[in-house]
Structure 1
Amino acid sequence: MTYETPDPLHPTLLPALIAAEDSLARLDERAGRHPVSEGFRERGQFFDAAAALWVAGELVHVEDLVLHDAHMDARAPSHELTIAHAVLRARRRLDLADRDWALTSAGLNALRGEGGVTEHNDRPVEGHRDIGLSDKEDEMDENPLAAEFAELDAAMARSRRLLDIHASGIADMEPAASAAAKASAEPLGQLGLLFEEDWDEERRLDAWRAVLSTADQLPASLGAAILFDAWDHIEPLRRQHWLGSLLVGAYLRFRGKVSSHVLAFNTGLKTIRHERRRSKDRLTRLLAFLEAMSVTADLGLKELDRLSLAKTQMEMRVRDRRSSSNLPGLIDLVLSRPIVSTALIARHVGVTPRSALNLVRELGVREMTGRGRYRGWGVL
């Protein structure tokens, strides 16, 4: 499957291209040296993951994603929430990796779950500080539910052995029927009932990579728009179509257009009408993608202003506090998460849940959920 590159010098594209280039440059300049740049980058991970599911037609609440990421789910996680968390992990991996890693064969294979983890793709960026639940923890640490998962694996292994014994007994009694059933199941293959058998992901990924050479000769924003349009047209992956929007931010970071962070492209893409994003006319789609980049940059600038104002107001409240106060740690947590809960504050700051409520009251953070249970606070 091939992708025909449109005319990059079409007069219709130039105004949107200039606006996107200018907006992305201003966002990168401010985000790279802003006092709340780390909180802005971490919050953008959650917002973009939730927006990626919104673009795909699914609704995931950001507060549920934050709690699920902290292993503090208020309820059993849904299938959509699990996918959103996979998007979140992929974005964090892109943020920690080298700029050109995601566009290589090894990077794409790692993001799609093929191949092992290499030293290259998980090397942390120098000077990067994790804003997780603790400075000593990160997303690659051991899963706190590892013991429970191990028990489940053992139970599944025992069940599999019993099923194998039962199947071997049936095969001894009815060898002909068993052979016929096995022969009829072979053409389906793994997941054959769910996906097309002739869907060659490797060939489609190679076709998408062939567009990279053309995109590199164009302005960064237009090249990223063409790569995203090619991803939608070729559809390389069956189960991870959301990866294309993440590669837009990775490509802009690789070209140096937005080098301070991985652009949260989905937050702007969700504001574009579906008729324009999925139009049959290629120029209409490219204009929509360029406009989405401009909207993303504008939303990012507003988010930086909002976080800066919130930080100034909260720091004024703790200006006369003693040096051992836990309020500065709460400020860092609030600025790094779209929403925080009592248990999340207690774990991060190292206090009891009752003390966490007192800290929130002293800091004056706005309550976001309005619920009696699983209350959450954050910066609007």
Structure 2
Amino acid sequence: MGYRLPDLPLQVLLPHISRAEDQLARLDERTRRSPVGTGFVERGHFFDSAASMWVSGELVHVEDLVLHDAHMDVRTPTHELVIAHSILRARRRIATTDPGWALSDAGISALRGRTVDAVTEREGEGTIDEDNGGGALDLDTGSGDDEFAQHFADIDAVLARSERLLTQHNAKAVSAPPAKVDVSGRDPLIYDQDWDEAERLSRWRDAMSEADVLPPSLGASVLWDAWETLEPLQRQHWLGSMLIGSYLRSRGKVGTHLLAFNVGLKAIGRERRRSPVHTTRLIAFLDALSSAAEAGMKELDRLGQTKDQMERRLRNRRSSSSLPNVLELVLSRPIVSAAMIAKAAKVTPRGALNLVAELGVREMTGRGRYRGWGIL
């Protein structure tokens, strides 16, 4: 059964649609003109990845995600942290491609990890060319050497015995009943074999054709509601929010970045997001778009003010100073460690601590070891 879009009460939805459209347009324009737009976009990937896990009921700390992404974990990564990092990498991949790529068949297949490596598709790779001997040594068995002749006789005997054993085994296999083979290659203990992901994705795409005739924000809300209702993917449900962000990019509503939709979704109560009333769910998703846009504009203001304050410390500095690199790193990460600063600025850990003190970044962890600095 596909997703059915009922008659929409536009009189009720119109105020929420207008607010979401206005907030998204303002965020997109401010990001385009902001001098900290690049850092804002990169930070948004981390915040949305952690928020996506929060919406699904799992807790992942942003600082752990940052350190894991930099290959500087302070503890063994948890299963939830690995999933959050997968979300982070998927967001980066979508943000660097064409707006409509993630919604295409190739894009969804790539994000699901179903693409086939081109290397494995090469025909004839690793085989022996029988015409030229495959680069093997050309041994002349007719040389008359008795020692070599004895060795080849032993090899022929082994090959003949192996061929007899294989023939007997094949005869038993033919007489035995054929075993059931899962052509999909999925473990039935993990995946539901009756869950037809291709069919559900097809139904979700049918809902996309209906959403295209609606305003971008309302269309995105309809698509999100269809994703929550149909649940196309068994183990990658988090992909839906990124597809919604890609849909807004393809419609030209948010063209500068991939919207951190889950950040706004955190502000919406679960009783509204999971309401049995269709109109209530759509209003909740529209309000989530507005909340995400408002949070993004506040983040832009905070980053802009911080950059202005820190740039004052860069005045009268020599051209080879490492402080500009540290400033760019701080603006693009929610939290940074001494090791991350040392790697980015190419200095020693002691030198990284000196740069942090000169830049005046606030310490956020409150710990003596594995300290982190960032912008609040």
TM-score by length of 1: 0.81
Greater Cα radius of gyration, structure 1 or 2: 2
Matches within 5 A, 1:184-199: 190-199=186-195
Task: Name which of structure 1's ranges 204-213 and 2-11 shifts more when overlaid on structure 2.
Answer: 2-11
Partner of 2:21: 21
- SS for the counterpart of 1:377 is strand
C-alpha contact 2:8 2:279 (8 A) present in aligned 1: no
C-alpha contact 1:110 1:116 (8 A) present in aligned 2: no
Matches within 5 A, 1:1-380: 1-116=1-116, 190-380=186-376
Corresponding letter in the other structure for 2:26: R
C-alpha contact 2:39 2:332 (8 A) present in aligned 1: yes
**Closer/same/farther in 2, CA of residues 4 and 325 from structure 1, 3 Å limit:** same
Of all paired residues, the percent bearing the same amino acid is 62
- SS for the counterpart of 1:211 is helix
Aligned residues: 324
1:42-98, Cα deviation, whole Å (9 max, x unpaired) = 000000000000000000000000000011111110000000000000100110110
Q: Please identify runs of 4+ aligned residues in structure 1 that moved more than 6 A.
A: 184-189
1:161-190, Cα deviation, whole Å (9 max, x unpaired) = xxxxxxxxxxx9xx99xx89x959979973
CA distance in 2, matches of 1:222, 1:79: 34
1:123-146, Cα deviation, whole Å (9 max, x unpaired) = xxxxxxxxxxxxxxxxxxxxxxxx
CA distance in 1, matches of 2:324, 2:345: 9
C-alpha RMSD over aligned residues: 2.2
- SS for the counterpart of 1:102 is coil
**Closer/same/farther in 2, CA of residues 185 and 201 from structure 1, 3 Å limit:** closer
CA distance in 2, matches of 1:242, 1:373: 34
1:181-214, Cα deviation, whole Å (9 max, x unpaired) = x959979973212232111100110000111111
CA distance in 1, matches of 2:364, 2:292: 23
What 5-or-longer segments of structure 1 have no aligned partner? 119-171
1:5 CA displacement = 1.1
What 5-or-longer segments of structure 2 have no aligned partner? 119-168
- SS for the counterpart of 1:12 is helix
C-alpha contact 1:39 1:337 (8 A) present in aligned 2: yes
C-alpha contact 1:369 1:376 (8 A) present in aligned 2: yes
